[in-house]
Amino acid sequence: RLRRNKITAFSCHTVRLSLRISCQLAHCYAKCRSLMTYLLQQNIFFSPRQRTIQRIN
């Protein structure tokens, strides 16, 4: 009986930990995605200026 309770507690702990890790990963992925979209927008915004600089050179 004690062993079974220990196992259930352990499984609950692992599930909680895995949920927390997956949440952190999802948050990190969202951050990374927003950063990438921001960088892409900046690149699109700056691309005409870069082309003009290349023409001057």
pTM, 2 dp: 0.50
User: Which H/E stretch holds residue 57?
Assistant: none
φ and ψ at residue 32, rounded to 5 degrees:
-60, -45
Angle CA 3–13–17, to nearest 5: 155
pLDDT tens figures, 46-55: 666 666 666 6
Angle CA 7–23–38, to nearest 5: 165
Residue 33 reports pLDDT greater than 70: yes
CB hemisphere CA count around 33 (13 angstroms): 6
Position 52 scores a pLDDT of 62
pLDDT tens figures, 3-31: 778 888 888 889 999 999 999 999 999 99
Angle CA 7–8–13, to nearest 5: 95
